[in-house]
Amino acid sequence: MPRIDFYVLPDRKDNGRALLACRLADKAYRLGHTVYLLAASDAQAAALDDLLWTFRQDSFVPHERYPLAGEESSPVLVGTVAPVEVDAQVLINFTDALPEGFERFERVVELVDAHPEVLAKSRERFRQYRERGCALETHKL
């Protein structure tokens, strides 16, 4: 079972969770891990794809959209499909649901901000992970 990390932002800025997703993907990449960023929609995936290029002045996170156009994959993938076929170590969940196939990852990252709907959905996922016997960590930022 993977370790589940909930990162809790103290506010609800428009781009807060997306910027946090990029920072965590960058950190995981720099530590040598492969990452799958699971988005809720194509528009959200496109926004994350763009933000990975620009979220920090000196950042370079090699990434591409999933499903892949070619055979070689980048260390960071951004997609909207359930990650059952993705071979990555870290799953960053940017959706409101428990990701199908999350058990295959070493770590799952959940992004939470102070928006009431985001909080409610994340509490539900926390309960679902706990019921499945996952190790849970909460990081208040």
Distance CA 114, CA 124 (A): 15
What 8-state DSSP symbol labels residue 61? Answer: -
pLDDT of residue 86: 79
pLDDT tens, residue by residue, 15-49? 999 999 999 999 999 999 999 999 999 999 999 99
pLDDT of residue 27: 96
Residue ranges per structural domain of the chain:
3-140
pLDDT tens, residue by residue, 43-67? 999 999 999 999 988 878 999 999 8
- Asked whether the predicted pLDDT for residue 69 surpasses 80, the reply is no
Is CATH 3.40.50.10110 correct for 3-140?
yes
Distances (CA, A) of 29 to 40, 54, 59, 77, 97: 22, 16, 11, 11, 24
Residue 116: pLDDT band (50, 70, 90) is very high
Half-sphere exposure of 27 (CA within 13 A, CB side): 9
Tokens of 19: 């910027």
- Do residues 116 and 99 make contact, with C-beta atoms less than 8 angstroms apart? no
Closest CA to 90 of 112, 113, 107, 110: 107
Distance CA 79, CA 64 (A): 9
pLDDT of residue 73: 78
pLDDT tens, residue by residue, 76-114? 999 999 877 778 999 999 999 999 999 999 999 999 999
- Do residues 6 and 139 make contact, with C-beta atoms less than 8 angstroms apart? yes
